[in-house]
Amino acid sequence: MHPSIEKPVAANPNDHLAIALDLPDAKQALALVDSLGNTCKWFKVGMELYYAAGNSFVHELRDRGFSIFLDLKLHDIPNTVAGAVRSATQAGASLLTVHASGGAAMMAAAAQAASAPGAPKLLAVTVLTSMDANDLAATGVVATPAEQVLSLAKLANAAGIDGMVCSAEEVGTLRAELGPQTMLVVPGIRPAGAATEDQRRIATPAAAISQGASMLVVGRPITRATDPAAAARAILEEIARALSSPSTAALKK
Protein backbone atom coordinates (compact mmCIF):
# COMPACT_ATOMS: atom_id res chain seq x y z
CA MET A 1 0.00 0.00 0.00
CA HIS A 2 1.27 3.48 -0.82
CA PRO A 3 2.31 5.12 2.47
CA SER A 4 0.36 8.34 1.89
CA ILE A 5 -2.95 6.55 1.41
CA GLU A 6 -5.37 6.08 4.28
CA LYS A 7 -8.49 3.97 4.18
CA PRO A 8 -11.84 5.81 4.49
CA VAL A 9 -14.17 5.14 7.38
CA ALA A 10 -17.48 3.36 6.74
CA ALA A 11 -17.28 3.68 2.95
CA ASN A 12 -20.64 3.34 1.23
CA PRO A 13 -20.44 0.99 -1.78
CA ASN A 14 -23.17 3.00 -3.53
CA ASP A 15 -20.70 5.88 -3.82
CA HIS A 16 -18.37 3.64 -5.83
CA LEU A 17 -20.65 2.31 -8.59
CA ALA A 18 -22.10 4.08 -11.62
CA ILE A 19 -24.43 2.14 -13.89
CA ALA A 20 -23.93 2.95 -17.57
CA LEU A 21 -27.22 3.72 -19.27
CA ASP A 22 -25.92 2.88 -22.73
CA LEU A 23 -29.36 2.76 -24.30
CA PRO A 24 -30.80 4.44 -27.41
CA ASP A 25 -33.65 6.43 -25.87
CA ALA A 26 -35.14 7.79 -22.66
CA LYS A 27 -38.02 5.30 -22.58
CA GLN A 28 -35.74 2.28 -22.43
CA ALA A 29 -33.36 3.99 -20.03
CA LEU A 30 -36.12 4.95 -17.59
CA ALA A 31 -37.53 1.42 -17.74
CA LEU A 32 -34.12 0.15 -16.67
CA VAL A 33 -33.88 2.76 -13.91
CA ASP A 34 -37.31 1.67 -12.68
CA SER A 35 -36.25 -1.99 -12.68
CA LEU A 36 -33.30 -1.11 -10.45
CA GLY A 37 -35.45 0.69 -7.89
CA ASN A 38 -33.23 2.41 -5.35
CA THR A 39 -30.42 -0.09 -5.71
CA CYS A 40 -27.91 2.48 -6.98
CA LYS A 41 -27.10 6.15 -6.57
CA TRP A 42 -25.10 6.99 -9.73
CA PHE A 43 -26.01 6.68 -13.39
CA LYS A 44 -23.69 7.32 -16.31
CA VAL A 45 -25.29 9.00 -19.32
CA GLY A 46 -23.12 8.61 -22.41
CA MET A 47 -23.21 10.06 -25.88
CA GLU A 48 -25.79 7.67 -27.35
CA LEU A 49 -28.44 8.44 -24.75
CA TYR A 50 -27.57 12.11 -24.27
CA TYR A 51 -27.78 12.88 -27.97
CA ALA A 52 -31.19 11.17 -28.09
CA ALA A 53 -32.72 12.51 -24.87
CA GLY A 54 -30.74 15.64 -23.98
CA ASN A 55 -30.80 17.63 -20.78
CA SER A 56 -34.42 16.77 -20.03
CA PHE A 57 -33.36 13.20 -19.27
CA VAL A 58 -30.58 14.39 -16.97
CA HIS A 59 -33.14 16.59 -15.17
CA GLU A 60 -35.49 13.63 -14.82
CA LEU A 61 -32.83 11.55 -13.12
CA ARG A 62 -31.81 14.43 -10.88
CA ASP A 63 -35.44 15.01 -9.89
CA ARG A 64 -35.58 11.36 -8.83
CA GLY A 65 -32.63 11.93 -6.51
CA PHE A 66 -29.88 10.28 -8.56
CA SER A 67 -26.39 11.62 -9.24
CA ILE A 68 -25.39 11.95 -12.89
CA PHE A 69 -22.09 11.12 -14.54
CA LEU A 70 -22.26 12.78 -17.97
CA ASP A 71 -19.80 10.90 -20.16
CA LEU A 72 -19.45 13.10 -23.24
CA LYS A 73 -15.66 12.80 -23.65
CA LEU A 74 -15.32 16.41 -24.77
CA HIS A 75 -12.50 16.96 -27.27
CA ASP A 76 -12.36 20.19 -29.23
CA ILE A 77 -10.70 23.60 -29.19
CA PRO A 78 -10.41 25.14 -25.69
CA ASN A 79 -13.17 27.72 -26.15
CA THR A 80 -15.69 25.16 -27.39
CA VAL A 81 -14.95 22.71 -24.59
CA ALA A 82 -15.23 25.46 -21.97
CA GLY A 83 -18.66 26.36 -23.36
CA ALA A 84 -19.72 22.71 -23.22
CA VAL A 85 -18.68 22.53 -19.56
CA ARG A 86 -20.86 25.56 -18.82
CA SER A 87 -23.78 23.86 -20.58
CA ALA A 88 -23.26 20.70 -18.56
CA THR A 89 -23.37 22.81 -15.42
CA GLN A 90 -26.85 23.96 -16.41
CA ALA A 91 -27.86 20.35 -17.02
CA GLY A 92 -27.05 19.46 -13.42
CA ALA A 93 -24.42 16.78 -13.99
CA SER A 94 -22.10 15.98 -11.08
CA LEU A 95 -19.31 14.45 -13.20
CA LEU A 96 -18.28 15.23 -16.78
CA THR A 97 -15.57 13.70 -18.98
CA VAL A 98 -13.09 15.37 -21.30
CA HIS A 99 -10.44 13.65 -23.41
CA ALA A 100 -6.95 14.14 -21.99
CA SER A 101 -5.58 13.84 -25.52
CA GLY A 102 -7.18 17.24 -26.20
CA GLY A 103 -4.13 18.75 -24.59
CA ALA A 104 -3.17 20.99 -21.70
CA ALA A 105 -4.77 24.21 -23.00
CA MET A 106 -8.10 22.50 -23.64
CA MET A 107 -8.15 20.89 -20.21
CA ALA A 108 -7.14 24.12 -18.48
CA ALA A 109 -10.00 25.94 -20.20
CA ALA A 110 -12.40 23.19 -19.10
CA ALA A 111 -11.11 23.38 -15.53
CA GLN A 112 -11.57 27.14 -15.48
CA ALA A 113 -15.16 26.78 -16.70
CA ALA A 114 -15.74 24.12 -14.03
CA SER A 115 -14.69 26.51 -11.27
CA ALA A 116 -18.15 28.11 -11.36
CA PRO A 117 -20.64 27.28 -8.59
CA GLY A 118 -22.55 24.07 -9.27
CA ALA A 119 -20.20 22.92 -12.02
CA PRO A 120 -19.46 19.21 -12.38
CA LYS A 121 -16.18 17.65 -11.37
CA LEU A 122 -14.10 16.91 -14.44
CA LEU A 123 -12.63 13.54 -15.34
CA ALA A 124 -9.97 13.17 -18.01
CA VAL A 125 -10.29 10.08 -20.19
CA THR A 126 -6.79 8.69 -20.70
CA VAL A 127 -6.78 5.59 -22.95
CA LEU A 128 -10.07 3.89 -23.74
CA THR A 129 -10.44 0.44 -22.20
CA SER A 130 -11.30 -0.93 -25.66
CA MET A 131 -7.75 -0.11 -26.85
CA ASP A 132 -4.57 -2.14 -26.50
CA ALA A 133 -0.97 -1.53 -27.59
CA ASN A 134 -1.72 -2.42 -31.22
CA ASP A 135 -4.60 0.04 -31.35
CA LEU A 136 -2.42 2.80 -29.91
CA ALA A 137 0.37 2.05 -32.37
CA ALA A 138 -2.08 2.32 -35.25
CA THR A 139 -2.80 5.91 -34.19
CA GLY A 140 0.91 6.76 -34.06
CA VAL A 141 1.38 6.39 -30.30
CA VAL A 142 4.52 4.37 -29.62
CA ALA A 143 4.02 4.22 -25.84
CA THR A 144 2.38 1.25 -24.15
CA PRO A 145 -1.13 1.82 -22.79
CA ALA A 146 0.27 2.07 -19.26
CA GLU A 147 2.87 4.64 -20.30
CA GLN A 148 0.35 6.68 -22.27
CA VAL A 149 -2.19 6.62 -19.43
CA LEU A 150 0.39 7.88 -16.93
CA SER A 151 1.62 10.61 -19.29
CA LEU A 152 -1.89 11.87 -20.01
CA ALA A 153 -2.91 11.65 -16.35
CA LYS A 154 0.03 13.81 -15.29
CA LEU A 155 -0.87 16.33 -18.00
CA ALA A 156 -4.50 16.43 -16.86
CA ASN A 157 -3.55 16.73 -13.21
CA ALA A 158 -1.28 19.68 -13.96
CA ALA A 159 -4.12 21.32 -15.92
CA GLY A 160 -6.42 21.23 -12.88
CA ILE A 161 -8.64 18.25 -13.77
CA ASP A 162 -10.26 16.59 -10.74
CA GLY A 163 -9.86 12.95 -11.74
CA MET A 164 -9.03 10.39 -14.40
CA VAL A 165 -10.71 7.58 -16.28
CA CYS A 166 -8.38 4.62 -16.73
CA SER A 167 -8.48 0.84 -16.81
CA ALA A 168 -7.87 -1.32 -13.76
CA GLU A 169 -4.45 -2.17 -15.19
CA GLU A 170 -3.28 1.40 -14.59
CA VAL A 171 -5.29 2.48 -11.56
CA GLY A 172 -2.75 1.30 -8.98
CA THR A 173 0.05 3.26 -10.65
CA LEU A 174 -2.09 6.39 -10.90
CA ARG A 175 -3.20 6.10 -7.28
CA ALA A 176 0.42 5.93 -6.12
CA GLU A 177 1.48 8.72 -8.49
CA LEU A 178 -1.39 11.16 -7.96
CA GLY A 179 -2.21 10.47 -4.30
CA PRO A 180 -5.46 9.95 -2.41
CA GLN A 181 -7.30 13.11 -3.48
CA THR A 182 -7.56 12.29 -7.19
CA MET A 183 -10.75 10.57 -8.29
CA LEU A 184 -9.99 7.48 -10.38
CA VAL A 185 -12.89 6.04 -12.37
CA VAL A 186 -12.56 2.58 -13.89
CA PRO A 187 -14.78 1.26 -16.72
CA GLY A 188 -14.34 -2.14 -18.32
CA ILE A 189 -15.57 -3.89 -15.18
CA ARG A 190 -16.62 -7.49 -15.66
CA PRO A 191 -17.65 -9.84 -12.83
CA ALA A 192 -15.89 -13.21 -12.89
CA GLY A 193 -17.26 -15.30 -15.75
CA ALA A 194 -18.89 -12.39 -17.61
CA ALA A 195 -18.27 -11.90 -21.34
CA THR A 196 -15.57 -9.33 -22.14
CA GLU A 197 -17.33 -8.23 -25.38
CA ASP A 198 -15.53 -5.19 -26.89
CA GLN A 199 -13.45 -4.41 -23.80
CA ARG A 200 -9.74 -5.28 -23.76
CA ARG A 201 -8.29 -4.05 -20.43
CA ILE A 202 -10.80 -5.36 -17.90
CA ALA A 203 -11.01 -6.40 -14.24
CA THR A 204 -13.44 -7.69 -11.65
CA PRO A 205 -15.03 -5.18 -9.25
CA ALA A 206 -12.94 -6.42 -6.31
CA ALA A 207 -9.68 -6.20 -8.25
CA ALA A 208 -10.31 -2.63 -9.37
CA ILE A 209 -11.33 -1.45 -5.90
CA SER A 210 -8.37 -3.16 -4.26
CA GLN A 211 -6.02 -1.28 -6.59
CA GLY A 212 -7.45 2.11 -5.61
CA ALA A 213 -10.41 2.82 -7.90
CA SER A 214 -12.75 5.51 -6.59
CA MET A 215 -15.68 4.54 -8.80
CA LEU A 216 -16.49 1.63 -11.09
CA VAL A 217 -18.57 1.99 -14.25
CA VAL A 218 -20.63 -1.10 -15.07
CA GLY A 219 -22.94 -1.39 -18.05
CA ARG A 220 -23.87 -4.62 -19.79
CA PRO A 221 -23.24 -7.02 -16.87
CA ILE A 222 -26.10 -5.16 -15.13
CA THR A 223 -28.20 -3.67 -17.92
CA ARG A 224 -28.43 -6.92 -19.90
CA ALA A 225 -28.90 -9.17 -16.89
CA THR A 226 -32.14 -11.10 -16.48
CA ASP A 227 -32.54 -9.36 -13.11
CA PRO A 228 -30.64 -6.03 -13.26
CA ALA A 229 -31.32 -5.20 -9.61
CA ALA A 230 -29.91 -8.54 -8.44
CA ALA A 231 -26.86 -8.09 -10.67
CA ALA A 232 -26.28 -4.61 -9.25
CA ARG A 233 -26.65 -5.85 -5.67
CA ALA A 234 -24.11 -8.60 -6.30
CA ILE A 235 -21.57 -6.07 -7.57
CA LEU A 236 -22.27 -3.73 -4.65
CA GLU A 237 -21.68 -6.61 -2.24
CA GLU A 238 -18.36 -7.36 -3.94
CA ILE A 239 -17.41 -3.68 -3.69
CA ALA A 240 -18.33 -3.64 0.00
CA ARG A 241 -16.12 -6.66 0.69
CA ALA A 242 -13.22 -5.08 -1.18
CA LEU A 243 -13.63 -1.77 0.66
CA SER A 244 -13.55 -3.53 4.03
CA SER A 245 -10.43 -5.53 3.20
CA PRO A 246 -7.29 -4.36 5.07
CA SER A 247 -5.30 -4.71 1.86
CA THR A 248 -7.48 -2.35 -0.17
CA ALA A 249 -5.79 0.81 -1.37
CA ALA A 250 -7.51 3.95 -0.15
CA LEU A 251 -10.20 5.65 -2.12
CA LYS A 252 -10.77 9.33 -1.76
CA LYS A 253 -12.95 11.55 -3.89
| Residues designated catalytic | 73
The CA-based angle 47-166-36, given to 5 degrees, is 55
The CA-based angle 169-42-121, given to 5 degrees, is 75
Phi and psi dihedrals of 218, rounded to 5? -125, 130
**Amino acid letter, 39:** T
SS3 state at 39? coil
Q: How far is CA 212 from CA 30, 164, 178, in A?
A: 31, 12, 11
Q: Is residue 21 exposed (0-12), middle (13-18) or buried (19+ Cβ within 10 Å)? A: buried
Q: Is 127 in contact with 167 (CB distance < 8 Å)?
A: yes
Q: Give every CB contact of residue 127 below 8 A, 6+ residues apart in sequence.
A: 136, 145, 148, 149, 152, 166, 167, 170
